Amino acid sequence: MKTHKIIVTDYIEENLDWEAEQLKDLPVEFYALQLKQAPLDELIKKIADADILVVNMAQINADVLAKLQKCKLIIRHGAGYDNVDINAATKHGIQVCYVPDYCQEEVAEQAMMLLLAAFRKFNRQLESMKISVQKGEWDFSPIIPLAKLAGKKVGIIGCGRIGSKVLKMLRGFNADVLVCDPFLTSDRKAELNIESIPLDEVLSQSDLVTIHCSLTPETRGLINEHNLKLMKKNAILINTARGAIVDSKALAKAITENWIAGAAIDVYGKEPPHKNFELIDLQNVILTPHISWYSVDAEWNIREKIIEDIKRHLDGLKPRFPIN
């Protein structure tokens, strides 16, 4: 019986002892490495003879894929796969899969938290509290004016697994939801009771816009200077999808020059962002540390699903969510 070599290129868990235990009775050799920051030649050297790769944040580009000698499956540890060159993998006969059915509730909850925190001016409420304690009387001047979310227009860009959960949450607040997702089927739109309208209409009509689309060549830089200028002056942008969907320099300009009112961001083009990142310390911006995916439940959920896909592959079955 053939022994399959499984290599984890990088991981965020404390250790992968549980995974090793789950695989110990199978015909595999299991190696957990930390190659996220490794130079290209070192990465290639360490993973060249893998049969199965499990990839978190390591960049698996065309050069890396060309040097894989016998790899048949790459499992992306996450709900996106922009760090794996899918076309190159297909060219080399390598199946790529991912785990889009985890952390959906967590990301939706984070998006709603950021939306409400930005809309209700949470940072300024904290400022007001400090001033009021010092004065010995309430001073709401940093906060006023405030509005209610009910009846406001909220735009959702991308209404898939996560966006549709945000949609349902927003309806609980009696918000008027606008959706841009040209990939939704007629049945799915009917199920959600929505229509998909053009991006420029969503941006120009919405009081808040929350992003839930995948990062693709078409969506990279989608929220740029041109599209930010379409938004209302009182509008707020929320991004819990992928950092590169938003041009952060253009967003900083939009906020400092009052094209829009503010933003709440959990994802970045470079992670973590550098200390001179243009959105840091802007008054009307809330930044969180790409934590929307995380809960103890989600962490174990994805680990279990990755092991399931490994076992499926060893049994000659397709992965649960193949990409190519």
The helix/strand/coil state of 290 is: coil
**Closest by Cα among 261, 289, 155, 287 to 213:** 155
**Closest by Cα among 298, 239, 294, 306 to 266:** 239
**Closest by Cα among 233, 298, 287, 301 to 261:** 233
Catalytic option among 161, 171, 290, 312? 290
Q: Is 290 a catalytic residue?
A: yes
Token pair for 74: 């790459």
Rounded CA-CA distance 172/192 in Å is 14
Residues in the chain: 324
Q: Tokens 């945000």 belong to which residue?
A: 166
Beta partners for residue 116, in sequence order: none
Q: Tokens 């919405």 belong to which residue?
A: 206
Q: Is 271 a catalytic residue?
A: yes
Rounded CA-CA distance 159/321 in Å is 18
Catalytic option among 4, 76, 212, 242? 242
Catalytic option among 29, 42, 195, 271? 271
The helix/strand/coil state of 55 is: strand
**Closest by Cα among 60, 107, 65 to 302:** 107
The helix/strand/coil state of 244 is: helix
Catalytic residue numbers, as ranges: 242, 271, 290
